[in-house]
Amino acid sequence: MSGLLRLPLHDLHVELGGKIVGFAGYDMPVQYPLGVMGEHLHTRAKAGLFDVSHMGQILAYPTGNIEELALDLERLMPIDVAGLAPWRQRYGVLTNDTGGILDDLMIAHRGDHFLIVVNAACKAADFDHLQAHLRCANLTMCSDRALLALQGPQAEAALAQILRGVGAMRFMDVRIFGDIWVSRSGYTGEDGFEISIPNTQVAVFARSLLAMQGVAPIGLGARDSLRLEAGMPLYGHDIDQTTSPVEAGLAWAISKTRRAGGARAGGFAGAARILAQLSSGVSRLRVGLRPDSRAPMREGVVLLDGNAPIGRITSGGFSPTLNAPISMGYLPLKFTEIGTLIAGDLRGKPTPLRVCALPFHPTNYKR
């Protein structure tokens, strides 16, 4: 016994030949017989099915009305919750009093309540944080539901065979189909869906998708390489409680209405630091990096200007789509111009890298 929690689809992952590893307190499949590179390329070309049931699904119902709860949530994150239209969702970050990121999340307006999807390693702390700071909400952690992600250019065609109407959804739409909750979103840069389904139904549902031509099971390894190509930060690696959303390159997620001069400017945790950075700039920034060598530069590699340390890589690996290594990391602002040549300390040897734009691979969302 590993002592780790098991996903509702654990037996199916084993049956499919999944290699099981520990991640965020769960036994999870890191890859299947197709291999990480094969799974990655399959998702880009067809459709990949990911089990992300380890993530937290939190229902937030208002004790009064939904408008009051939206404003209450705005005290905890620098996004426009009050302006989020029903049946739409938005990316956001929970911030602390110093402007650091407690977690990044998706928040969906579902008519009379919100659904908040948070990272697995943070979900207990996030729930406690929301419970402690929201003044007009009843919260429930959905422990009886699984979460699947179906990603890739053939995702819509596959899911539409089970759920009529998903083809009409656009990026960031949310819908409820009986017991099944669907959002048109994901973590790969591809078009796709995240599907919340009762634990008792998920095995039949997953097997139905996997029986379709073009759909294959995808593990954690390819999920990581796909999100890296898409330039998406991973909590606990690229962003954490010391990182502000502006430094992390997530200023686009800070709504205009919450910025200086906006209708509801400030008023959120860490607003002093975050608004100052939006106005005056930051001293460091998350950037994309392309090593000149074929050797991947992974998390922890120290970035150099000559022999002087100037930053470090927070995510890195090999890009199957580009057939080349890629990395992300933080650099002082003067080194962040596209094309800037620096070096990484690769096993004691300075190895050249160039700053490049994010994402490494264009996104393919249905707008």
224 lies in the same domain as 287: no
Summarize the confidence of residues 286-301 as an average pLDDT.
96
289 lies in the same domain as 225: no
Summarize the confidence of residues 310-331 as an average pLDDT.
98
Which structural domain, as residue segments, surrounds residue 24? Answer: 5-52+143-229
Distance CA 229, CA 225 (A): 6
294 lies in the same domain as 216: no
Distance CA 256, CA 336 (A): 25
Q: Position 207: which residue type?
A: R
Report the CATH number at residue 222: 3.30.1360.120
203 lies in the same domain as 305: no
Number of domain units in the chain: 2
Q: Is residue 128 part of a domain?
A: no
Structure tokens at 350: 């300075």
22-43, pLDDT tens digit by residue? 999 999 999 999 999 999 999 9
Summarize the confidence of residues 41-69 as an average pLDDT.
98
31 lies in the same domain as 161: yes
158 lies in the same domain as 305: no
- State residue 196's pLDDT score: 98
Give CA angle at 53 (78, 240), nearest 5°: 35
Distance CA 362, CA 359 (A): 6
97-134, pLDDT tens digit by residue? 999 999 999 999 999 999 999 999 999 999 999 999 99
The last residue of a domain, from among 229, 246, 272: 229
Instruction: Give the pLDDT band (50/70/90) at residue 138.
Output: very high
Burial, 179: exposed, middle or buried (Cβ in 10 Å; 0-12, 13-18, 19+)? exposed
For the cut 70, the answer to whether the pLDDT of residue 1 exceeds it is: no
Q: Is residue 278 part of a domain?
A: no
Strand partners, 350: 345
Q: Is residue 158 part of a domain?
A: yes
Report the CATH number at residue 298: 2.40.30.110
Q: Is residue 166 part of a domain?
A: yes
The last residue of a domain, from among 188, 210, 229: 229
Q: Is residue 41 part of a domain?
A: yes
46 lies in the same domain as 181: yes
Q: Is residue 340 part of a domain?
A: yes
DSSP 8-state class, residue 189: S
Summarize the confidence of residues 4-22 as an average pLDDT.
97
Instruction: Give the pLDDT band (50/70/90) at residue 3.
Output: confident
What's the pTM value of the predicted model, to 2 decimals? 0.96
- State residue 197's pLDDT score: 98
Q: Is residue 352 part of a domain?
A: yes
For the cut 90, the answer to whether the pLDDT of residue 2 exceeds it is: no
| Rg for the chain, CA atoms, rounded | 21
Q: Is residue 138 part of a domain?
A: no
17 lies in the same domain as 156: yes
Burial, 267: exposed, middle or buried (Cβ in 10 Å; 0-12, 13-18, 19+)? exposed
Would you list the DSSP string of 197-264? EEHHHHHHHHHHHHTSTTEEE--HHHHHHHHHHTT---BTTTB-TT--TTTTT-GGGS-GGGSTTSTT
Summarize the confidence of residues 320-348 as an average pLDDT.
97
The last residue of a domain, from among 229, 257, 273: 229
Summarize the confidence of residues 267-273 as an average pLDDT.
98
47 lies in the same domain as 158: yes
159 lies in the same domain as 29: yes
45 lies in the same domain as 166: yes
141-199, pLDDT tens digit by residue? 999 999 999 999 999 999 999 999 999 999 999 999 999 999 999 999 999 999 999 99
